[in-house]
Structures are given as C-alpha cells and as structure tokens.
Structure 1
Amino acid sequence: MASEQKVKILKNTELVPGVGKLVVSCDDSPLPGQFYMLRAWEREPLLSRPISVGRADQGELSFYYLVKGKGTRLLQALKEEESLLLFGPLGKGFPKEEGSVALVGGGIGIAPLIELSHRLPAAPDVYVGFLDTPYALEAFRAQTLAVATDSGRVGHKGFVTELLKPESFDAVYACGPTPMLSALKKLCEGKTRLYVSLEAHMACGVGACLGCAVPSGDSYVRVCKDGPVFLAEEVEL
C-alpha cells in the first residue's frame, strides 16, 4: 500500500553527465515497474517527480534520474544524510511470464528493467540503447547483454530494436522513449507478447487528476493508476 515517508539519502552519484543514481534507506518491497513520487523541496516546483524504482535490495531503494528541469536539478543537488520525501509504491508492475524473456531499454528507461532482471526466475537477455555513453550496465542480472548507441561509441551503431529477434522469446518487456516502444510494437506483433512501461507527465500519481491519460481503443487509461505497465496492444503508441 502506498504511503508517504521521509527517508535518508545514502548516495547520490552522477553516472554520466545529466544522469544520476540516488540511493535511499527504505525497507519497502515494490514490484518491478512500480514508481514513487519524489520530493526534496517545500513549495517550488509545485509537483513531485515520478521516478521508477531501479533496485530494491537489503533496505535500500535506488532511483535513476535524468536531469531535465528544476525538480531533477534539486534531486541532483541532494547530499548524503539529507532527507527526501517518498510517496509510493504506485502503479502496476510487470507481470511474470514463463519461458524465455528479453528486456529492452532505451536511455533512462532502463531503470525499471534493472529490478525486473533480478526478480525473474532466470536471467534474461538484455538489450539496451543509448545516445552515446552507456551507464548502469553492471546493475543488470543478464544472460546476455547487447548494447546499441546512436553514435556508435559502444556496441552496435544504430537503434537497439535492430538487435532484437522477437520470435526467439516468449515475452518481451520494454521501457524507453515512445518512438522506441512504437517500433517494438510493430516488430513484436504476431511474434511474441510485448509489455511496455510508459513514461508520462504526472501530477498526482494516483489517477485522480487524469493528467497522464493515454489513448486505449475508444477510451483512455491512466499511466499512473492503470499502468505504467501495459500489454502493448492495450495502448496507442
């Protein structure tokens, strides 16, 4: 059940320019794919920041964040021993599938897949894509790990979707930019089940404000409450 709590910062490190990893002391056991609303300020900015759990282990929660605006800059400035407000865990996580599984992550979208890789019955095949410099690769539990970069600096030069053979897997789990998820949906159609974790601007995190609603057939679903994880066929990408 979601709750608000004040937690202590254990570590806050920069992985590559503009990307950080925040570790806090917390005994929660969120499901892979769930998220928290993070807040380290009193009034401004108005809204807390929704961030997926990257790892939950031995009384610690890890969050990976992309520095994009005032809120994430304030998170980046947090020091060890300072406090942070968490509200969560929120949303629905990844369902467990039997058989062979692939994880596909793009950029900061790798975060919820890290925890998932440790919770699956067997180590999955992991495919990750970045613009230039990869990060957090060592955090995955993986049978194989394939990397793609737009620049060609590391691994395959091109899109991570070019590396995946969906017919080889019973299920694929993915999180990343919407264009990547859209390409994966087309690639996996008729070949395997695809679960996607969506990224969206959120205000409340509990489904009340409808600020994160996305099209689903003739209706809409709330990313924060009905997701953020969906079968790809359930949402428009």
Structure 2
Amino acid sequence: MRIVACLNGDRRPGEHPALPISPDQLAADAAAVVGAGATAVHVHPRDGRGRESLDHQLVTALLDRLHDRVPGVPVSVTTSLSAEPDAWRRLDLVGRWGTLPDSATVNMHEPGSLEVARVLAGHRVAVEAGVWTVEAARVLVASHVIEVCSSVLIEPVEQGTDEALRTLSGIASVLDRARSTVPRMLHGRDATAWPLLDKAVALDLDVRMGLEDCLLTPDGAEATDNTALVGEAAARVRAER
C-alpha cells in the first residue's frame, strides 16, 4: 500500500502556519514525511509569490531539490488547472518540462486532460488519473486513457461522508465493469479526509494525506504540520495490517 504525502496542493500561502511553499520548505517537509512513513510525495510547484505554476524552470528547480533531499522517493507533480487555468497553455507548459517527475496527476474532468495525459505518457511519466465524479470515470474508460495510467485517484468532492462513499461506489463500479486492474488510491478533503482514509485502508487501497487534503487531526485539532498528518495516516495503515 502506498502512502502518499500531499504537501501543499492549491492551499493559499498562510492558510496554515506550516504550509510549505518554497522549494526548500517542500524539500524539508518531504524528508520529514518520508521519515514518518510516506512512500511518495505529491507537490504543487509555486512561483516567488507563492502562486501555483507549471513553468518548466520552476518545476525543474523543485524536482532537483526534492531528488537531492529524498533520493529514490517517487515525486508526483500536479497538472491541475488551478496551476494554469488556460488548458492549451497548460498543455504547452507540461510539454516543455525538461526534468520530469516520476508521476503527474491529471484531473479527468478538466478541459484538455486527455491531451495532457497522452503527452505525459509519451514522455514516460506515470499518469495518475484524478477521478472526482462517476462521469469522469466514464471519460477515463471511454477514452482509453486508462490504458496508459499507473493509478486512478478516486477523489470524491462531497463533504458528507455518506455522499462521498456513494460516489466512491459509483466510480468503482465503472472501473470494475471495464475490468480495470490499474491500482486505485482513495482520498477525501477536509471533512472527508480521515473517513475516506480509513475506508481506503479497509479496502486495501493506496492512501494519501497531508496539508493539501486536511488541516486537522482526526480529533478536530489543527494539525502541527505535514509530518503529524502523515504519521497518523501511517499509524492507521499499520494498525490494519
């Protein structure tokens, strides 16, 4: 079971006191969460103002820093439209990446996602398909992009646990009907982050945790940092094994 630490996501600078923004901060957090049990890290590169960016120079600088600090640990990078709202410019930026991540997430509901996935696959970057809805799962299967994916990230956006679990069931049904054997990860955000992590552990799916997904510990207190969140997630995985 993979335990992926999602270090910053699209959170605004200052949204949490320990949110890592700069390459040095992200590299320090990466080393800490690996020590706490993470097997991979997922990051959203930022520019000098703290804004998300897919610029090839920023991506290269961040990846070089991460690979130096946590050698051998897989690094995943976002391609979300939150980092570049123009779908065609995003495609161009991703195509310009020189230093490549081990994997990249591609949200299937976003315009241009299929093209981005195919460009990444052509560069031999593992594609992690972000599936937020049942319709996105259908797009993933019907387009055959699932055939170049290394994993499917099931990411219900509903903030009620029951509703999120219904979305999980619907997405899983689409994947099962397609006889997909691509590994699956399940995670929630904010109110559903911990319930869906526990569900993922029970289903023996890969898990994800970090300040991108959740700012609170399971008891509702503000988390100290990414290390505290990942350490708790790793403890829950160990408890079920």
TM-score (norm 2): 0.33
Of Structure 1 and Structure 2, the greater helix share is in 2
RCO comparison, higher one (Cα < 8 Å, 6+): 2
